[in-house]
Amino acid sequence: MKLPVYLGLLHKAEGTLAQSFRQVAEGHGHEPDVHFLCQALADQCQEHQQALQPIIDRYGEVDHDDEPERLQADGLQNTRSGPVGLLRDLQDLYLLASLVDITWTMIKQAAQGLRDKELLSIVNDCDGQTSTQLKWLQTRMKQAAPQALIAAK
């Protein structure tokens, strides 16, 4: 069964996203909404990791798989500055959150196949929050894009 591989992927992806949210929160302290919300969303990601723990305890977690890693999603090591920099950083977060989101979806498929009620209820809670994270990132980027791309110095 390869579910442990995906549990590992998800656990890692949530951790990467959490760390990246924190990075953006710190790097964009002059945008108070970004600063505070990214902190709150980083906490959410870590809560997701904790919520997964009992499942991982049951099924195990595999860090490395025999499938080769093709796409690297190591998270943000640094933040950019300025209006376009903010937009790019949010966009990177969006990509990382999308990865988390689709991984939850795959795990939900498996949970349904396994008729694992505990896992299903965790997926429902967490994935709902992840999709709100995506919506917020999109809302914030849409707000920032015209000014950043047209008017910013």
Residues that bind another protein (CB under 8 A): 30-33, 36-37, 40-41, 82-83, 132-133, 135-136, 138-139, 142-143, 145-147, 150-153
Q: Which residues of 141-150 are buried (b: 16+ CB within 10 A; e: fewer)?
A: beebeeebee
Instruction: Using the minimum distance from each CB to another protein, give the nearer residue, 36 or 109.
Output: 36
Q: What minimum distance in Å lies between the beta carbon of 20 and another protein? A: 16
Q: What minimum distance in Å lies between the beta carbon of 7 and another protein? A: 26
Instruction: Using the minimum distance from each CB to another protein, give the nearer residue, 56 or 120.
Output: 120
Rg (CA), the chain: 17
d(CA 44, CA 32): 18
Q: What minimum distance in Å lies between the beta carbon of 55 and another protein? A: 21
Instruction: Using the minimum distance from each CB to another protein, give the nearer residue, 7 or 86.
Output: 86
Q: CA 100 → CA 33, 48, 83, 151, distances in Å?
A: 23, 11, 26, 33
Residue 78 DSSP symbol: S
Q: What minimum distance in Å lies between the beta carbon of 83 and another protein? A: 6
